[in-house]
Structure 1
Amino acid sequence: MADSKPVEHGPLSGSALVIGTIAVSLAVFMNVLDTSIANVSIPSISGDLGVSSDQGTWVITSFAAANAISVPLTGWLTNRIGQVRLFMWSIVLFVISSWMCGLSPTLGFLLAARVLQGAVAGPMIPLSQTLLLASYPRAKAPMALSLWAMTTLVAPVCGPILGGWISDNISWPWIFYVNIPVGVLAAGATWFIFRHRESTLHIAPIDRVGLGLLIVWVGSLQVMLDKGKDLDWFNSPTIVILALVALIAFAFFVIWELTAEHPVVDLSLFKRRNFTGGTIALSIGYGLYFGNLVLLPLWLQTTIGYTATQAGLVMAPVGLFAILLSPLTGKFLPKTDPRYIATASFLVFAFVFWLRSLYTTDVDTYWLVMPTLIQGVGMAGFFIPLVSLTLNGLPGNKIPAASGLSNFVRIMCGGIGSSIFTTVWDRRSTLHHAQLMEHANAYNPVFDQQIQQFHSNGSDTLGYAWFNNTVSQQAAMLGVDDCFWISSAIFVALIALIWITKPEKTTPAAAAAASAAH
């Protein structure tokens, strides 16, 4: 075991602080954007590479699985490589892998490049939090979190819009090529500002068993989540096997990591009330947010007749209040209990999803956009206080590991949320369709009148087809309304998790400042 001597680094100031913040934010934006930018481009990618759309979805699955595996390794990798070097190498390799993705001549090459891209992307988000917090004075650490939150919240909304526009107007490789100039700029600025602010190295033995178990259970779970709906979940032997492998490997992983001398993931962090409450509230809330971020555009495109670009534009206003109010949240956070801000945020989310649960098939643009606009208010108070609570009271050398583990749970919940909500919507729509079809009989005057009208025009088949299409549209609407209502109720219930935390006098700002010395 070899440790380098601790070197203290004070906060940045002036132009160095501005450039450092922009560099880290650009890297985060590029990273988060790539989690969603390829989603709407799968048809274009599949057609160009000569594969089915089902095979094309592995472009998303491969990135998500590799990313989910690498995120919790951030703390361990930081100890061996150093915060700045790891962050730099992540950006550089992300740019190279993006270039490889764009040049891919076959699906196999593209999947290999996406695995590399997802793996190197993992440490970037947790380390971005660490570098930003260590760069700001103690009193302004919440402001650093607010700047980080803006890029994390806005990028998933921009991804589908930008990806759809690029695929429609240029060509799909450019959804990856756009990362190159952004990444080069971020890497150059990061090295210029942070190269003399490296963290302490702590070389510990490699936990090969823990790493292997992590890869097995996370990989199995991610593939199960991504392919579950297509394979009809547990009616498929493949999904059953993946679930069993994930469950068994996870059980052994937890036991091993809690008893290992040098665990690859520090699960002891869950002994802390603030970390546990903050992480679970943030992760489940993000899962609800991300699941509905997938669900609403899908409903608009498949049922209401919106194009991908139009559906993306409906979601775009969510970033307006998030950008405007996030700095205010960061400003007022040190002066108030973060639990109040987080509670207000969850109530706003609950109100927004309740409004959406009232949607009908003739919903207009105003009622689609208005809840989205209001949701931006909730998002401004979502990440910042919860991240603050999660890192509250931690010593500086624990922050990279805590941030990595917290982000890992959040990312996994995002994937689980999208899988659950699309499945629940499908099942509820089927149920509502069956219930509505019970009214398709001669004793229903409305049904009988419509069918008689088509019959008089000699179009019985057309009449039944019209009725079935109308029922399907109504069933899909009722199914999506159920999902929105459930989301609203869960957000209210999650408030209890916020209040099991107990903020300590040592703020995350102080802890982050201490991390600069490690």
Structure 2
Amino acid sequence: MTAPALPHAGPLAGPRLLVAALAIGAGNFLVVLDSTIANVSVPTIAGSVGVSVSQGSWVITSYAVAEAITVPLTGWLSRRFGAMRVFLACYFAFAAISLLCGLSQSLGMLIAGRVLLGLVGGPIMPLSQMLLMRIFPPRQATVASVIWAMTTLIGPIAGPILGGIICDGIGWPWIFHIKVPIALIGGALVFLTTRGLPDPTGKARIDAIGLALLVLWVGALQIMLDEGRNHDWFAATEIKLLAVVAVVGFLAFVIYELTEAQPIVDLRIFRHRGFTAAAVTFAGGFGAFFAAIVILPLWLQQNMGYTATWAGYATGIMGILAMISAPIVGKATEKFDPRAILSIGILGLGAMTAWRMGFNSDVTFAQMAWPTLFTGPFMVMFFVPVTGLAIASVTPEEQANAAGLSNFMRTLAGAFATSLVQTGWANSARVNQTELVGAMHNNAEVIAGMVAGGASPEVAVANLTRIVEHQSVLLATLDMFAVITVVFVLAALLPWLAPKPKGPIDTSGAH
């Protein structure tokens, strides 16, 4: 999965260490940022290339799926070519492909670029974590962990804000172009500051069949989830076919990986009850969290009249308290049962989502900002201990694979959640609209009143239709918040299935 822990190749010191750490952390920041920077820009991008918003959501899911698929390849790539070489190659490739994404003239070209971004971005996250641990002296391992954790937390917070400001102020291509100089400078600084450090390689065999099966079932399932709502689900032959391919591919993948001597995804790790509980918690909690930060800006822009900038503010304001609380949560994880911290964090995220169920069409930005602001500390309580808890129950030799597999599940859950929440949102809006129309017994009187007020019959009908559509989408949004809340509550129960760690957990990710 992720690169195996390697001996320290001579820790750096002084300004060289600081520059190298910031440059490596910037790589992780860019990759995590890319998972959310397009969220608030989807309506604008969709309109620019002439497609629906639901089709435009492929900009999000294509990146997440490609990223998830390449995470398991990180270990093989590092052993075969060297961790630093792979990191630098992906860093510079990220810059080049970001440029191509910004130059896209069609949705197909943009999605192709996003797939390539995900493929090169996948290894950057685990490699940045490993390289930070390598360049810092062992006594400063906690500092390396904090740098990596903060870049991982800041990315999804800054994404919506930057995406909104850039989309409204400059144009959506610049949400990709702006990353080009940062990636180029960051990659150059990593190369210069780490030049001369050993970057060992060795023979590495890749599980080609396992990789092919992984791509097959993940790709088929994601396409089915994205396209199902556009083809009346299982009424369409192609959706049925995709479902069969996904199920058969998944079963074949599980059977093959459990019998393969060197599997690309070591499913045997699931024999550890603690890992299974933590990994499923990570996937479920992150899926719910990501669904919320996908649906909120879409609703604000499509139905509340928000610009991409203000939708970004409404989503990204959670970063204020997240930054303040991160060191406190890190210390608390060392002293208290991490299962309790994790469970409280997830329940808090659920409570903030439930708070949003009280929104109406007159909700102000300030009213909307409070639950988002208070989401920050709970988000930190979720993200900080969950990976450490996942690896606490596995053997030292399995820790790298455990960290990689839990992140693979997290990334995949985010992609699936994006599709599922938008499908549920659209379906709920249609049902609510039908019910609202059926409950309106005075349509003619309302229209007559509008006509009496000076509107033409056509305008009156259009206005009434718009009001009904607006309310149906509002109700659908509240329905999705309710579903997300339930998922959070269920996910909060899962950490308690893990045994209590015997000592402080390693929040650095098993290095």
Normalising by the smaller structure, the TM-score range is 0.7 to 0.9
Aligned residue for 1:29, secondary structure, equals helix
| Cα distance change of structure 1 residues 17 and 240 upon mapping to structure 2, 3 Å threshold | farther
Taking the TM superposition and a 5 Å limit, the aligned residue runs for 1:456-495 are: 456-457=452-453, 459-495=456-492
- Distance in 2 (CA, whole Å) between partners of 1:212 and 1:176 is 29
**Aligned-partner Cα distance in 1 for 2:464–2:142:** 55
Which residue does the alignment assign to 1:214? 214
Tell me the CA shift for residue 413 of structure 1: 0.7
**What does residue 253 of structure 1 align with?**
253
Structure 1 residues 431 and 239: CA distance shift in structure 2, 3 A: same
**In the alignment, residue 466 of structure 1 is paired with which amino acid?**
N
Cα offsets for 1:325-373 (capped at 9, x unmatched):
1122223321222112112211211210111011111111111101000
Cα deviation per residue 1:218-250 (whole Å; 9 max; x = unaligned)?
222233333333344333333322222122111
Partner of 1:351: 351
1:442-453 alignment, distance < 5 Å: 442=442, 450-453=446-449
User: What does residue 97 of structure 1 align with?
Assistant: 97
Tell me, in whole angstroms, the C-alpha distance in 2 between the residues paired with 1:82 and 1:186.
19
Match of 1:425 in 2: 425
Indicate if the aligned counterparts of 2:68 and 2:122 stay in contact, CA closer than 8 A. Answer: yes
Give the superposition deviation at 1:146: 4.3
Counterparts in 2 of 1:135-146, with a 5 A limit? Answer: 144-146=144-146
Q: Is the 8 A contact 1:287 1:414 kept in 2?
A: yes
Q: What is aligned with 2:501?
A: 504
Q: Are the counterparts in 2 of residues 354 and 484 from structure 1 also a CA contact under 8 Å?
A: yes
Q: Shift of the alpha carbon at 1:133?
A: 4.4
RMSD, aligned CA: 3.3
Q: Structure 2: how far apart are the matches of 1:83 and 1:173? A: 31
Could you list the runs of 5+ residues in structure 1 that have no partner in the other structure?
none
The Cα shift of 1:83 comes to: 2.8
Displacement of 1:451: 4.5
Distance in 2 (alpha carbons) for counterparts of 1:451 and 1:42: 35
Between the aligned partners of 1:512 and 1:440, the Cα distance in structure 2 is 56
1:94 aligned counterpart, secondary structure? helix
Answer yes or no: is the 8 Å Cα contact 1:73–1:404 preserved in 2.
no
The residue that corresponds to 2:64 in the other structure is 64
Secondary structure of 1:382's counterpart equals helix
Pairwise mapping of residues 298-317 of structure 1 onto structure 2 (< 5 A)? 298-317=298-317
Contact 1:73 1:264 in 2 (8 A): yes
Letter in 1 for 2:499: K
Aligned residue identity for 1:499: W
Q: AA paired with 2:494?
A: L
Q: Which residue is 2:126 aligned to?
A: 126
Change over 3 Å in CA distance of 1:59–1:233 after alignment to 2: same
Q: Is the 8 A contact 1:299 1:480 kept in 2?
A: yes
**Structure 2 counterparts to residues 399-410 of structure 1, below 5 A:** 399-410=399-410
How far the C-alpha of 1:275 sits from its partner, in A, is: 1.9
Q: Is the 8 A contact 1:138 1:510 kept in 2?
A: no
Shift of 1:384: 0.6
Secondary structure of 2:363's aligned partner: coil
The CA deviation at 1:96 is 2.6
**Equivalents in 1 of 2:301, 2:49: separation in Å?**
25
Farther-moved stretch of structure 1 (391-400 vs 246-255): 391-400
The answer to whether the 8 A contact 1:68-1:122 is kept is: yes
In the alignment, is the contact (CA less than 8 A) between 2:65 and 2:415 conserved in 1?
no
1:299 positional shift: 1.2
Pick which of 453-462 and 252-261 moved more.
453-462
Shift of 1:8: 4.7
Q: How does 1:22-61 map to 2 (within 5 A)?
A: 22-39=22-39, 41=41, 59-61=59-61
Distance in 2 (alpha carbons) for counterparts of 1:178 and 1:342: 35
Residue 454 of structure 1 pairs with residue 438 of structure 2: no
Name the counterpart of 1:334.
334
Letter of the aligned partner of 2:70 in structure 1?
Answer: S
Using the alignment, how far apart are the partners of 2:132 and 2:336 within structure 1?
22
Give aligned pairs, total: 507
Bigger shift: 96-105 or 403-412? 96-105
In structure 2, do the counterparts of structure 1 residues 433 and 489 end up closer, same or farther at CA, with 3 Å as the change threshold?
A: same
- Do the aligned partners of 1:280 and 1:497 also contact (CA within 8 Å) in 2? yes
Instruction: State the Cα distance separating 1:294 from its structure 2 match.
Output: 1.0
> Do the aligned residues in 2 keep the contact of 1:97 with 1:116 (CA within 8 Å)?
yes
Distance 2:43 2:508 in 1: 47
Cα gap change, 1:471 to 1:402, in 2 (>3 Å): same
Distance, in Å, in 2 between the alignment partners of 1:150 and 1:111 is: 29
Q: Decide which moves more: 316-325 or 46-55.
A: 46-55
CA spacing shift, 1:333–1:51, aligned 2, 3 Å: closer
Residues 65 and 412, structure 2, Cα contact 8 Å, conserved in 1: no
Q: Map 1:232-243 onto structure 2 (within 5 A).
A: 232-243=232-243
Deviation at 1:19, TM superposition (A): 3.2
Query: For 2:173 and 2:344, how far apart are their aligned partners in 1?
Result: 42
CA drift of 1:462 comes to 4.3
CA distance in 1, matches of 2:165, 2:180: 18
- Classify 1:104/1:374 alpha carbon distance in 2 versus 1 (closer, same or farther; 3 Å): closer
| Counterpart AA for 1:251 | L
Segment of structure 1 superposing worse, 498-507 or 193-202: 193-202
Cα distance in 1 between the residues matched to 2:332 and 2:196: 32
Q: In the alignment, which residue of structure 2 is the partner of 1:80?
A: 80
Q: Distance in 1 between matches of 2:79 and 2:113?
A: 26
- Please list the CA deviations of residues 444-495 of structure 1 after superposition, one character each: whole Å capped at 9, or x if unmatched: xxx6764453354575554444333323222222221122122222212222
- Measured in 2, the distance between the counterparts of 1:257 and 1:167 equals 43
TM-score by length of 2: 0.87
Question: 1:317·1:373 contact (CA, 8 Å) conserved in 2?
Answer: yes
User: What is the distance in 2 between the residues matched to 1:141 and 1:174?
Assistant: 36
Counterparts in 2 of 1:207 and 1:70: CA distance versus 1, 3 Å: same
Equivalent residues of 1:292, 1:418 under 8 A apart: no
- Give the distance between the partners of 1:212 and 1:89, measured in 2 at CA: 23
Amino acid at match of 1:188: A
Where do residues 135-214 of structure 1 align in structure 2 (5 Å cutoff)? 144-194=144-194, 201=201, 203-214=203-214
Kindly indicate whether the alpha-carbon contact (under 8 Å) linking 1:95 and 1:183 is maintained by their aligned counterparts in 2.
yes
Stretches of structure 2 that go unaligned for 5 or more consecutive residues are: none
Residues 114 and 489 of structure 1: CA distance in aligned 2, closer, same or farther (over 3 Å): closer
- Over the matched positions of the two proteins, sequence identity in percent amounts to 39
Q: Which piece of structure 1 moves more, 341-350 or 456-465?
A: 456-465
Helix, strand or coil for the counterpart of 2:506?
helix
| Higher mean C-alpha deviation, range 457-466 or range 110-119 | 457-466
Give the counterpart letter for 2:361 in structure 1: T
Counterparts of 2:495 and 2:242, CA distance in 1: 33
Cα distance per residue 1:266-286 (max 9 Å; x no partner): 112222222211111111111
Contact 2:353 2:481 in 1 (8 A): yes
Q: Counterpart of 2:222 in 1: which secondary structure?
A: helix
AA matched with 2:155: A
- Range moving further from structure 2, 139-148 or 350-359: 139-148
CA distance in 2, matches of 1:417, 1:101: 24
Q: Distance in 1 between matches of 2:383 and 2:7?
A: 30
If the length of structure 1 is used for normalisation, what is the TM-score? 0.86
Output the CA distance in 1 between the equivalents of 2:125 and 2:239: 30
